[in-house]
Amino acid sequence: MKKFKKTISVLLCLVLLLSLAAPIASAAGRCNCGHTPIIYVFGRSTIFDDPTSPDRRDLLDIGGDALTGMVKTGAPILAKAVVTNNYDDYCDFLYEQTAPLFADFTPNKDGTVTNGSGIEWSWSPETLYDSHKDDNVYSFVYHYDSRLDPCDIADDLNRYVEAVKELTGHDKVSILSRCMGCDMAFAYLAEYGWDDVETFVQYASAVQGTTILSDIFAGKIELNSKAIDRYFNENWIADDWQVNEILKATISVLNQNYTLGLTASAVNRIYAKIYANVLPRIMRASYGTSPGYWSMVAAEDYEQAKKLVFGDNTEEYAELIAKLDHYDATVRQQLKNILVSMHNDGVKLMNITKYGFQMIPITTSYNTVNDNKISVYHQSFGATTSPLDSCFDKKYMEKAKANGTDKYISPDKQIDASTCLSPDTTWFIKNLNHVSFPKCVNGLVSEIVNNKGFTVNSSAEYPQYLVFNDETKTISPMTAENMNTTERWNVSFFKALSNLLKSVFEMIKQKALELGK
């Protein structure tokens, strides 16, 4: 009996020693560097026909030749349609020309991809490299196939989070999500919660809708001559700068004498006749079977988009629609609830919104303040904005001052951040295009992640409103001197004509010099 009691005592002592050793061993593997590892959930990665092949092809690199050929070949078919007022043949032509361009890119009818196409990137716990102690914003960059179901991607992202925690010895990570990556990050949060997340940063977020894409899915197509003028005055059209200036000035001249407006109106009238016939077919043959791209449809457009894209084909696409509805119910409809709950649980929530450009001028959102693809309203979770071609009027400014919210209004009077979900932790950077993610923003991200309680009022270097300088590749506080108001778009007829004549003269002069040699 004594021997038995002695054995029990020894076993109890061993258990006690092991229980004490466990937290010691655990603490020994922990990292106390003070720099929470950042997982950067990327935007959209290139989709290749065969990611493993040295001769792989970008499946969305369609090229201008195919489109130019389509326009030339389709011109007589369109002309006949206009004369007869029967556009069926033209709709068939557009579909038959477009569908093959996306054949290898388009997912199956259930939203899966089985043709071997995909992204070049892959990961495993063994391939992760730890540089988080260097304050590296891009220590851990997570990629994904943007066509796939965000809720499936969330499963893999959860494994990635666990692997990063194990590698770095941290209990929590910070998530910096960019563009479509915000959709994937929110799917992860909806599926797995945020116990492992210390800071969550959205950067040019697409989760409330990529405005240009959402409009197209919902059929809200419209050309506007002023928007076309602004767009081509902001973007490089031709390789040669002289040709580029001539083209831009010519477009402005056409706009001023109403020719461009008449052309836009004619296109809009034709679109009204053909969209119900051809747009759903083209969408189902391109982006319309991709759960990933559907995640970028705004809540206000979702039901209309489903009705337009699938129409009477809901049974054929039943598995896909079930996935889309699941994302809608668990993620899209819960976005604000998720953010509020995260805030209440102590997670730092930050948002970086970009703007200062003309939206691609083919949809009804052409006059919204945006970053070329996504409106400020959608990116920022609710900021109020003026129309793109104007600013807040005197009455609005007086009301904001009376309410005490004028401090949230941008110096260019185009954005009122007071209506954001989290106005004190939402930054706006002007003149930063949607596809541009310069390193100069990393300083802001680092401050956000590493400084507890960091807000738009914490630093003179990073106030709520910033401006990006494309020449110096820097960001700085927005002032009256650098805010670059929309006056840059007010191109008069005489200014446009002057630019046109000047460019023509310079080209003639240059050619004369070349001939003289």
Other CB atoms within 10 A of residue 66 CB: 12
In order, the DSSP letters of 168-207 are HT-S-EEEEEETTHHHHHHHHHHHH-STTEEEEEEES--T
Q: Which two tokens stand for residue 243?
A: 């040709």
The owner of tokens 């569908």 is 99
Region 75-82 average pLDDT: 89
Is there a contact between 405 and 330 (Cβ–Cβ < 8 Å)? no
Rounded to 10 degrees, what is the CA torsion of 506, 510, 516, 517?
160
Q: What are the two backbone dihedrals, phi and then psi, of residue 351, each rounded to the nearest 5 degrees? A: -140, 130
pLDDT bin (cut points 50, 70, 90) of residue 497 is very low
Instruction: Give the C-alpha separation, 198 to 344, whole Å.
Output: 13
DSSP 382-447: S-EE--TTS---HHHHHHHHHHT-GGGB-TTS-EEGGGSSSGGGEEEEET--TT---GGGHHHHHH
For residue 3, what pLDDT is reported?
A: 44
Task: Give residue-wise pLDDT tens across range 25-46.
Answer: 334 468 888 788 999 999 999 9
> Do residues 44 and 120 touch, judged by C-beta distance below 8 A?
no
**DSSP-based three-state secondary structure for 358:** coil
Phi then psi dihedrals of residue 364, to 5 deg: -70, -10
pLDDT digits (tens, 9 = 90+) for 237-256: 545 555 555 555 555 555 55
Q: Mean of the pLDDT values across residues 451-472?
A: 94
Report the 10 Å Cβ neighbour count for 286: 18
Give 74-83 contacts, CB < 8 A, sequence gap 24+. 78/270, 82/270
- β-partners of residue 474 are 469
Model-level pTM? 0.85
Confirm if 383 and 427 have CB atoms less than 8 A apart. no
Q: Which of 1-5, 126-130, 357-361 has the lowest mean pLDDT?
A: 1-5
What pLDDT score was predicted for residue 153? 98
Question: Which amino acid is residue 95, in one-letter code?
Answer: Y
